């Protein structure tokens, strides 16, 4: 098998390694930091009454993103009760400063494909702040994110 030393490195790094996360809401003990902690055993979960949950990450410096990965948690999954996986619909937005308006880097608001792990590559998009906005989800399943990672290039601040 050939590794990155043999010319097949994508040249991208995860941008949220030292990032600061925020959210529109969270269920008890399911804060936003759990979606960016690189652990498959923790997750952010929005409050059940949040009409448009979002999760934002400040990567602390300008970063050019050309791919994102969302690993959904499916917090209330219960096949016997009919609560089954279905597509999540969302946007990934970005902006360079707190004062800027959010721009859309990825629009999957009409998504009809169920992807537990959704990796999306796109044209490079510059930002410092990145936000996952969930606009639709399976009935009764709830909104949870195990991992939200932006991949790209840029300077990384010291932690």
Residue showing tokens 């990796």? 119
* Domain-located, residue 54: yes
- Structural domain count, the chain: 1
Q: How far is CA 118 from CA 61, 104, 133, in A?
A: 25, 17, 14
Q: How far apart are CA 37 and CA 39, in angstroms?
A: 5
Closest CA to 34 of 76, 82, 71, 87: 71
Is the CB of residue 15 less than 8 Å from the CB of residue 118?
no
Q: What dihedral angle (degrees, nearest 10) is formed by the CA atoms of 12, 14, 19, 23?
A: 120
Residue 71 lies in a domain: yes
pLDDT digits (tens, 9 = 90+) for 1-42: 566 666 666 677 777 776 799 999 999 999 999 999 989 999
The CATH number for 82's domain is 2.60.120.260
In a domain, 5, yes or no: no
- Look up the domain containing 125 and give its range: 12-153
| Residue at 147 is within a domain | yes
52 assigned to some structural domain: yes
Residue 2 lies inside a defined structural domain of this protein: no
Regions in the chain scoring below 70 on pLDDT: 1-10, 18, 155-159
Full-model pTM: 0.89
The CA distances from residue 56 to 4, 80, 154, 158, in Å, are 30, 34, 18, 20
Q: Give the model's pLDDT for residue 159.
A: 47
């Amino acid at each position: 098998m050939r590794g990155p030393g043999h010319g097949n490195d994508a040249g991208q790094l995860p941008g949220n390694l030292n990032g600061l996360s925020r959210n529109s809401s969270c269920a008890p003990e399911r804060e936003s930091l759990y979606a960016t902690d690189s652990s498959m055993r923790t997750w952010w979960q929005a409050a059940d009454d949040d009409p448009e949950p979002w999760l934002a990450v400040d990567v602390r410096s300008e970063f050019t993103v050309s791919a994102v990965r969302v690993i959904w948690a499916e917090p209330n999954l219960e096949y016997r009760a009919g609560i089954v996986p279905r597509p999540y619909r969302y946007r990934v937005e970005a902006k360079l400063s707190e004062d800027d308006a959010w721009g859309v880097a990825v629009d999957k608001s009409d998504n009809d494909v169920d992807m537990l792990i959704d990796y999306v590559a796109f044209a490079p998009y510059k930002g410092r702040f990145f936000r996952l906005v969930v606009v639709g989800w399976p009935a009764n399943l709830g909104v949870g994110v195990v991992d939200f990672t932006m991949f790209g290039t840029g300077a990384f601040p010291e932690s």
